[in-house]
Amino acid sequence: PIRRAYVNTSAASQRGPLMPETTLIVIGGGGATHGTHPELDRLCLSYACKQPRIGFIGIASDDDLAQFRLFEAAIRPMASAVTRLHPMADERTARHWAEGLDLVYLGGGDPVRLVARLIATGIGAVLADAYRRGVPLAGVSAGAMCWFDSFLWRSPDAGLAVAPGLGLVSGSMTPHSLIEPERLIKMQDLVDSGAFFEAWAVDDGAALIIQNGAASSWYPQEGTPRVHRFARSEPRSVSGV
């Protein structure tokens, strides 16, 4: 689907007339920065206009240039421009950079570093403003976890651990659940204990689409890899059902 600039449907009626549609693409792993799952790249671009201007943020990887080069090589043939936020950007620089972008993509790495930097620099506020005016946001692994109230990540010191996110969308999330199935067990425990309310696990090669603050679809629609939703004592895969 091509992203609509504005919506005025019954499903979005609570957002008021002519409110921008918000889109968040949550990728568990893979895609352009990994050189795998090119279908995830096409999925992201399907929510932007034709020949879009794409912005990339590599804070989670400590602005690893090789990661950006992989992303640029995969995305550039489908976009009019691919630009990287400067590693030393502050809020003002980021706001100028974000003007005119049709989609912003956050790469993977350390989610705790990513969240801390987005808050400390004000870049998180810039991205939230872009999101609310209808610019789709996409991210993989750390770049996907950061948007939720909280997330489950693999700390180098403590193993699987819970950390706070930016809270742009409600709920909790963890990636890499196909190759690290212990994440599924931990997520269910966190939901059953009341630590998490609504929670998601997204496999490598899969994506959850959140529009106007609610899950609207997922990829792939069936089979493996999967998107998993958790409720009290009721784990459920929404992909492949």
Q: What is the pLDDT of residues 103-152, one digit of tens each?
A: 999 999 999 999 999 999 999 999 999 999 999 999 999 999 999 999 99
pLDDT recorded at residue 235: 55
Output the pTM of the full model: 0.89
Tell me the three state secondary structure of residue 203. Answer: coil
Question: Which of 10-24, 71-85, 197-211 has the lowest average pLDDT?
Answer: 10-24
Q: What distance in Å separates the CA atoms of residue 48 and residue 2, rounded to the nearest whole number?
A: 6
Q: What whole-number distance in Å separates Cα of residue 155 and Cα of residue 75?
A: 30
Distance in Å from the first CA to the final CA of the chain: 23
Q: CA 69 to CA 181: how far, in whole Å?
A: 30
One-letter identity of residue 84: R
Report pLDDT for 158. Answer: 86
For residues 188-197, give the mean pLDDT: 94
Residue partners of 38: CB distance under 8 A and separation at least 6: 31, 32, 74
- Cα–Cα distances (Å) from 105 to 15, 32, 180, 240, in that order, read 25, 10, 24, 26
Which among 64, 53, 58 has a CA at the least distance from the CA of 98? 53
> Angle CA(47)–CA(29)–CA(138) in degrees, nearest 5?
30
Across the chain, what does the average pLDDT equal?
90
Q: In Å, how far are 15, 91, 119, 241 from 87, measured between CA atoms?
A: 35, 12, 15, 42
3-state secondary structure (DSSP) of residue 188: helix
The rounded distance, in Å, linking the Cα atoms of 99 and 209 is 23
Which residues contact residue 36 at a Cβ distance below 8 angstroms, ignoring those fewer than 6 apart? 30, 204, 205
Q: CB under 8 Å, gap of 24 or more: what pairs does 33-40 form?
A: 33/67, 33/70, 33/71, 33/107, 33/108, 33/140, 34/70, 34/140, 35/70, 35/74, 36/204, 36/205, 37/204, 37/205, 38/74, 39/219, 40/140, 40/205, 40/207, 40/219
